[in-house]
Structure 1
């Protein structure tokens, strides 16, 4: 939920941009303690929930204070309905099987390595490559308030050999300050800087060129990777592709006069009247402002108790799963299982990363990044955008094309929401695999790419 074109579009385009010489971007900064050296080894990792942590958590869950009752008939329109909290909290305290769920989170091979002073956690799966097929590396980037858990329901089907010519090797990192990756003690580590860390990760794993999928905050990092490393990113697939160029903003504004010039008639209501879109953003993006302005204040409130962590996350999952969820008595959250939600919560609770994860907003949306202007730099990386009906913001292809000059396709869905991999795993996998196939074919036909992952000659 890192969408910010309304702010960024007000800033004039930067001329002659080059991130390598831009002092506003900390692309090679040491983020860890000065006393340590970078350990480039790749070490196995397993999630281990200490008995003391679980016992303390259960005590807090079972001895929580009574919650303030909601106003009558407000459902989720005030951000949360406390009448629904026991549905989640009682399950967490009494029915959530910590041993089984810990095993579930350890079902895939996980690793640690040190990059720019920080321990970076990642899932890495190299499937067997059947005869006659080739392997392509895919970096998959989660969002907020998500984690690597977002992709657990899709991994098996992504790496499974299909009727396509390729199989997929997946790399799924935890962002710095999220889950089992280290946080920094220095200011400045935003989504731009994370892009450099993940480029180094892929290079360390032996991939000079690779594909990227990103949603939510992962889409912002994916945008940055495609912008900074167009020679390395072979293709970009996103469930929240964002164009923040001046041209995109101008097109969207001008299109409000006659929307049919910008998009098909059956999609106009996703964006226009523009005042409805702006009203929605003003109403539901209060979290964004406080995350950006005062991350440590809200981080303390969110991370202090399991009730507060659950409440904040449910609020965010609700408003971005469907725009109409405010009128739903359960916030529309029945589309997710309780284990899905609580597995994700456990990663934050175990690592105490409520505050450090929220800092990503403040380190991304600030004057330093606005002055740099990299948000508005076009990229030639072949791109496919997926747009669910309940996505945060609909962006017309003409607007996207001002950022992604090789926009291969826009896959428009008639349903579903922002967290597609969690909500609809089968649909997500089919869109991702077909998207990668179309990007490879586009590269072969238009960018002198070969069949082995589109390596340009």
Structure 2
């Protein structure tokens, strides 16, 4: 059963957030620390004060409630999603999937341009936001993709495309592997390509430079990833109890993974962080890092890739082509890991090009 959903955070929860922020116990910081030891204290205090005194959740909640929200239960798990229908009755449907530490909010600025030509389904990953926490083992990208296939079946979308970045890319590719008769193509804006000495490929200098970036990342595994992949419950205690802890944990990712010229404002970022805090999903969202093994399912459907200059890593096309049927490849000089928020015009245009050049009509 699919039911309409309306966002209505209890006022007591908002009051509790304000109270906790006012009672923050701050650590000290060494002189001239900058970013050498982690998120700078002065910047975090600035964000926390904004969140406590100027940020208005109710205003953002009202705007979000202008969208058509729904929930349904699939595989024993509550699933929240936004379903925007195109004015074109016979439009192709697209399912857009976020990653961590994002949310369905990532896609707010691409809804209007994409819905001109596509029906849009924008779910929250199990364990994230209004899909609520997961309660059992096994909610990895493959199980999530199976849930997406069932969701699209319930909505009556017999043929559709999939798009995503971060975990959303993995889920979208898994969906193409699990439901190739329904998925006409997969577009991703994040596709890690690991060095493969057995590939027998002669790569360009620029591609080798990209692989050097990957090697450095692999040699120094990011602390957030190590913690969430090994002990998500442990870090979950701190993030669920301290709003400033949750703030620093996510704001650091926005600071480090975006284009230096990113236009993501503090209000949009705080709305995303508020979603994690108000739904108490820090631990359950982190579990996706532990649940998801590094695996590549054979995905037979056409794949489109958008590479943004300031992403965590940049894909190497010859390596990607060994794994997927790459039909479309774009390189952009602007944008980072949160492309739908940073450069929605570029992402929406690339998604449209991929699915309307014949791939989406196959």
Q: State the TM-score, normalizing by the size of structure 2.
A: 0.93
Cross-structure match for 2:203: 262
Is 2:156 the counterpart of 1:228?
no
Distance 1:420 1:199 in 2: 25
CA deviations on 1:267-304 (whole Å, 9 max, x unpaired) are 54333xx3x53223433522212111111001111221
Q: Is the 8 A contact 1:291 1:298 kept in 2?
A: yes
Pair 53,376 (structure 1): closer, same or farther in 2 beyond 3 Å: closer
Distance 2:240 2:248 in 1: 10
SS at match of 1:146: coil
Distance 2:83 2:63 in 1: 16
Is 2:106 the counterpart of 1:178?
no
Shift of 1:431: 1.5
Cross-structure match for 1:116: 75
Cross-structure match for 1:436: 355
SS at match of 1:112: strand
Q: 1:89 aligns with which of 28, 38, 48?
A: 48
Distance 2:222 2:338 in 1: 17
Query: Highest CA radius of gyration, 1 or 2?
Result: 1
Cross-structure match for 1:138: 94
Cross-structure match for 2:10: 50
Q: 2:197 aligns with which of 219, 239, 250?
A: 250
SS at match of 1:360: helix
Which stretches in structure 1 are left out of the alignment for 5+ residues?
1-40, 161-166, 256-260, 323-331, 444-452
Q: How does 1:373-412 map to 2 (within 5 A)?
A: 375-404=295-324, 406-412=325-331
Pair 67,105 (structure 1): closer, same or farther in 2 beyond 3 Å: farther
Pair 73,269 (structure 1): closer, same or farther in 2 beyond 3 Å: farther
Q: How does 1:412-431 map to 2 (within 5 A)?
A: 412-431=331-350
Pair 207,279 (structure 1): closer, same or farther in 2 beyond 3 Å: same
Q: Is the 8 A contact 2:34 2:40 kept in 1?
A: yes
Q: 2:264 aligns with which of 331, 336, 347?
A: 336
SS at match of 2:91: strand
Distance 2:127 2:83 in 1: 19
SS at match of 1:150: helix
Cross-structure match for 1:285: 222
Shift of 1:266: 4.8
Q: CA RMSD in A?
A: 2.1
Distance 2:338 2:3 in 1: 30
Q: Is the 8 A contact 1:223 1:242 kept in 2?
A: no
Distance 1:57 1:243 in 2: 40
Distance 1:177 1:58 in 2: 24
CA deviations on 1:115-154 (whole Å, 9 max, x unpaired) are 1111110000112118xxx401000000100110111122
Q: Is the 8 A contact 1:377 1:403 kept in 2?
A: no
Higher RCO structure, 1 or 2 (CA under 8 Å, sep 6+): 1
Is 2:168 the counterpart of 1:209?
no
CA deviations on 1:58-104 (whole Å, 9 max, x unpaired) are 111122123322x3444223331112012211111111122211112
Distance 1:74 1:277 in 2: 27
Pair 356,376 (structure 1): closer, same or farther in 2 beyond 3 Å: closer
Cross-structure match for 1:198: 148
Which stretches in structure 2 are left out of the alignment for 5+ residues?
none
Q: Structure 1 or 2: larger strand share?
A: 2
Q: Is the 8 A contact 1:243 1:376 kept in 2?
A: no
Distance 1:116 1:306 in 2: 31
Distance 1:139 1:242 in 2: 21
Shift of 1:46: 0.9
Q: State the TM-score, normalizing by the size of structure 1.
A: 0.75
Distance 1:251 1:413 in 2: 29
Cross-structure match for 2:19: 59
